[in-house]
Amino acid sequence: MAFRRPYPRQRRICEEHKAELEEENFHLRIELQTEVDSNRQNEKRIRELEREYTRCEQEIQDLNKEIKRLENASEEEIAELKSEISNLKNQLYQARKDD
């Protein structure tokens, strides 16, 4: 059996299909590269947001500590002022008593 070449028409159809497939492949590769680039940008943005989240979380913890410190300081100051008021009342009472 001898090797038969495809008819010219069949060859042309095969070449047209091949050209269509190559063109589609080219467009798909461009689309894929666009997606890859987009994913890289998104991953970079995610890393930035994670770092910002960590910074914000630390700042919140620091501010909570500061609030606690100020609350405790205010309680101490209130206690000192109450003590001072009590002393002043005693002094006033003694002053009135001495008159």
Q: Which of 92, 69, 73 is nearest to 81 (CA)?
A: 73
Looking at residue 67, its pLDDT comes to 92
| Residue 4 predicted with pLDDT over 70 | no
Contact 14, 6 (CB under 8 A): yes
Rounded Cα distance between 46 and 52, Å, is 10
pLDDT band for position 51 (cuts 50, 70, 90): very high
Mean predicted confidence (pLDDT) in 89-93: 90
Parse the chain into domains and list their residue ranges: 8-99
Mean predicted confidence (pLDDT) in 52-73: 93
Mean predicted confidence (pLDDT) in 28-37: 98
Tell me the DSSP string of 6-26: PPHHHHHHHHHHHHHHHHHHH
Mean predicted confidence (pLDDT) in 54-65: 95
Helix (H) or strand (E) holding 66: helix 8-98
Mean predicted confidence (pLDDT) in 33-53: 98
pLDDT band for position 97 (cuts 50, 70, 90): confident
Buried b (16+ CB within 10 A) or exposed e, 59-71: eeeeeeeeeeeee
Rounded Cα distance between 88 and 81, Å, is 10
Mean predicted confidence (pLDDT) in 8-21: 85
